Amino acid sequence: MTQVVSLSEAEAFAAIPLAAVCCDQTFAREEAALIREQLMSRSPYRTMEPYALGLLISGLLQRLRTEAWQGLVAAAVPLLNISQQETAFALACQLIHCDRVVSASEVEFLHGLAVALCLSPSRSHQIMEVCALLNRDCLAE
């Protein structure tokens, strides 16, 4: 029998964008840099030693391997208020769009994540649209 270890609030928030970068089975350089940058600009991560943040991410990656993103997100959602959930969703969208290549599996992930977070379709669409606009390489078009 496997014992389920509950997440801290910091782990719960970080779990959502981490699931986003891993949902397509790749972890691109842009995604790794952006998730670190985005977490390190927020409390409580900005006061963590790099080693502690590394342990937090490593622990979440281990859970992701054993529970899949659905299990990790299900464990995270009850620990976050709606504001934290929306911000985590926006960060997940940002991470998925940062390499300017959005795969079908990433779109499917975002739709599933929005449902898991109980975001309204209009709110999740709004957040996804803004992230797509912010990451569009409009001068290359």
Domain boundaries, the chain: 9-135
Identify the residue whose tokens are 């504001």. 83
What average pLDDT does the chain have?
90
Tens of pLDDT along 96-140?
Answer: 988 888 889 999 999 999 999 999 999 999 999 999 999 888 888
Q: pLDDT band at residue 1, thresholds of 50, 70 and 90?
A: very low
What's the Cα-to-Cα distance from 95 to each of 2, 35, 105, rounded to whole Å?
A: 31, 7, 14
Q: CA torsion sign, 135 to 104 to 82 to 6?
A: negative
* pLDDT value at residue 14: 97
CATH fold of 9-135, please? TerB-like (1.10.3680)
Confirm if 7 and 73 have CB atoms less than 8 A apart.
Answer: no
Q: pLDDT band at residue 28, thresholds of 50, 70 and 90?
A: low
Q: pLDDT band at residue 45, thresholds of 50, 70 and 90?
A: very high
